[in-house]
């Protein structure tokens, strides 16, 4: 037997196997394979027509394929058919078309048609039809989700932006642009960090887009806006990373906290100030005194009590008494040096802290000035009122604040016991 005869025999033996394999593949394929002639009539539909479109095998043969196409999609289907029909190289061009299901619903499909009219065994156009309804629903849901998030970001009152690994802004919403006194267009391509106070700029950028962890960072920073306003902004940021952990930027939420910071500062100051006279209260007194004593310079505490104030208060009432205390605070402040601290520690008791004294005599001289200004008449609504004052002075170096004030209070007690209207001084060896 010749070699040609052997080859022909092998081909004949393989032919039934190939047909069986082809038939099996069509039976199990989830894609529908169909053939239409030059008029668009279906001449073949694979078994996938039943699970995909609800038509039994062979039921579609002999009908026009265009009768299955959604009316809105028919123009595109006709154009795709004509284009493929006129193409001699049979290039596959995918087309999205809705086909009618046997139950009357419409199924989103992707059809790829190839021209095989010249093939004597096919004599038609082969259509590979794939069900893409699930992916279309996913894409629609994704688009809906993206649109919702876009609206949320655009309508948010909080500033939102995205920066790349270099800190350059790649996205910003309108709220952030308005906060910074500019437009979204102007923000894109610029760096938000250029607006941050120079002292805090490098640290802020390192925390936001540096190689640190993926935690959410929050910080208050001073910012100079595009229109040169100075504001406090609270930045909350979270790094955006690739799968390997490489940082590719960050998402930032920016809130104007200028008013909040001012309120917090005002409340903090009020917690340390006497509400009636505006001078320091006991809390601030200890905050100021402790570091002064730690510095080691000669320091004096002058404990002041107003002699005769109770009688004025009882006779004319608390309203005039409060007015008199405010005048007292103003007069004492005027008698002090710029570095001295005045605090109100009781109803009619004040404390003065004199730091970095040259000698004990300097504090005594300050005490004498205080007594002089407080001894002058007070012009009140009821007329001229006059009081006196007693002062106890104690000195300290590297001592504790409570101990120094206690010694000054003891000196004041001695002054009042000796007849009031005088200055008593306590000087220990450590203070000399």
The model's pLDDT over 118-128, given as tens digits with 9 standing for 90+, comes to: 888 888 999 99
More confident residue, 86 or 23: 86
Alpha helices in 133-187 (DSSP H): 133-155, 174-179, 184-187
Reading the block at residue 203, the tokens are: 């640290």
Q: pTM, whole model, 2 decimals? A: 0.50
Q: Which residues, including other chains, have CB under 8 Å from residue 88's CB and lie 6 or more apart?
A: 115
- pLDDT score, position 6: 46
Q: Which residues, including other chains, have CB under 8 Å from residue 161's CB and lie 6 or more apart?
A: 169, 171, 172, 173, 176, 187, 192, 251, 252, 254
293 close to 341: Cβ distance less than 8 angstroms: no
The model's pLDDT over 305-340, given as tens digits with 9 standing for 90+, comes to: 999 999 988 888 888 999 999 999 999 999 999 999
230 close to 223: Cβ distance less than 8 angstroms: yes
Question: Among 132-141, 143-152, 305-314, 353-362, which stretch is predicted with the lowest mean pLDDT?
Answer: 143-152
Q: Per-residue pLDDT for 348 more than 80?
A: yes
List Cα–Cα distances, 4 to 1, 7, 9, 10, 11, in angstroms: 8, 5, 9, 10, 11
Under CATH, what is the fold of the domain 31-136?
Beta-Lactamase (3.30.450)
Question: Among 69-73, 84-88, 211-215, 388-392, which stretch is predicted with the lowest mean pLDDT?
Answer: 211-215
- pLDDT score, position 333: 94
303 close to 351: Cβ distance less than 8 angstroms: yes
Under CATH, what is the fold of the domain 271-426?
Alpha-Beta Plaits (3.30.70)
Reading the block at residue 212, the tokens are: 């640190």
Does 271-426 match 156-261 at the fold level?
Answer: no
Rounded CA-CA distance 132/243 in Å is: 29
Task: Give φ, ψ of 110 to 5 degrees.
Answer: -115, 125
Q: Per-residue pLDDT for 1 more than 50?
A: no
CATH architecture of 156-261: 2-Layer Sandwich (3.30)
Domain-wise residue ranges, the chain? 31-136, 156-261, 271-426
Task: Give φ, ψ of 352 to 5 degrees.
Answer: -115, 135
Rounded CA-CA distance 323/333 in Å is: 16
- pLDDT score, position 26: 73
User: Which span out of 12-26, 96-110, 236-250 was modeled with the highest average pLDDT?
Assistant: 96-110
Find where tokens 């000796």 sit: 418
Give the pLDDT mean for 39-51. Answer: 92
**Across the chain, how many H-helices and E-strands are there?**
13, 17
What percentage of the chain has pLDDT greater than the value 90? 42
Q: Which residues, including other chains, have CB under 8 Å from residue 348's CB and lie 6 or more apart?
A: 305, 306, 309, 310, 313, 325
The model's pLDDT over 400-426, given as tens digits with 9 standing for 90+, comes to: 899 999 999 999 999 999 888 899 998
pLDDT band at 72 (very low <50, low <70, confident <90, very high): confident
User: Helices 318-334 and 360-374: crossing angle, nearest 10°?
Assistant: 140
Averaged confidence pLDDT in the chain: 85
Instruction: Count Cβ neighbours within 10 Å for each residue of 112-124 and write b for 16 or more, e otherwise.
Output: bbbbeeeeeeeeb
């Amino acid at each position: 037997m010749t070699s040609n005869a052997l080859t022909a025999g092998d081909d004949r033996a393989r032919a039934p196997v190939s047909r069986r394999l082809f038939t099996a593949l069509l039976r199990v394929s989830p894609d529908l394979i169909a053939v239409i002639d030059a008029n668009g009539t279906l001449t073949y539909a694979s078994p996938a027509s039943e699970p995909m479109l609800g038509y039994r095998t062979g039921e579609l043969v002999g009908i026009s394929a265009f009768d299955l196409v959604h009316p809105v999609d028919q123009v595109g289907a006709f154009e795709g058919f004509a284009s493929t029909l006129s193409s001699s190289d049979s290039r596959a061009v995918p087309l999205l078309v809705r086909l009618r299901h046997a139950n009357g619903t419409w199924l989103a499909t992707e059809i790829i048609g190839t021209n095989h009219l010249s093939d004597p065994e096919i004599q038609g156009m082969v259509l590979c039809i794939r069900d893409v309804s699930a992916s279309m629903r996913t894409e629609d849901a994704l688009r809906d989700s993206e649109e919702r998030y876009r609206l949320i970001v655009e309508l948010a009152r909080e500033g939102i932006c995205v920066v790349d690994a270099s800190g350059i802004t790649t996205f910003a919403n309108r709220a952030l642009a308005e906060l910074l006194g500019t437009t979204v267009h102007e923000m894109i391509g610029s760096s938000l960090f250029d607006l941050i106070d120079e002292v805090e700029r490098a640290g802020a950028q390192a925390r936001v887009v540096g190689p640190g962890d993926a935690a959410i960072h929050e910080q208050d920073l001073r910012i100079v806006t595009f229109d040169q306003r100075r504001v406090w902004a609270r930045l909350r940021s979270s790094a955006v990373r690739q799968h390997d952990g490489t940082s590719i930027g960050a998402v930032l939420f920016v809130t104007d906290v200028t008013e909040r910071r001012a309120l917090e500062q005002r409340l903090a100051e009020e917690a340390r100030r006497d509400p009636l006279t505006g001078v320091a209260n006991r809390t601030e007194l200890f905050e100021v005194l402790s570091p002064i004593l730690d510095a080691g310079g000669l320091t004096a505490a002058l404990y002041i009590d107003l002699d005769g104030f109770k009688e004025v208060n009882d006779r004319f009432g608390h309203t005039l008494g409060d007015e008199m205390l405010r005048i007292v605070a103003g007069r004492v402040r005027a008698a002090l040096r710029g570095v001295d601290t005045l605090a109100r520690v009781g109803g009619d008791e004040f404390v003065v802290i004199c730091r970095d004294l040259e000698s004990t005599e300097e504090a005594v001289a300050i005490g004498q000035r205080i007594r002089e200004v407080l001894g002058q008449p007070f012009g009140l609504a009821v007329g001229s009122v006059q009081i006196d004052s007693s002062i106890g002075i104690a000195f300290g170096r590297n001592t504790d604040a409570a101990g120094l004030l206690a010694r000054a209070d003891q000196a004041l007690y001695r002054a009042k016991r000796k007849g009031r209207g005088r200055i008593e001084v306590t000087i220990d060896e450590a203070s000399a």
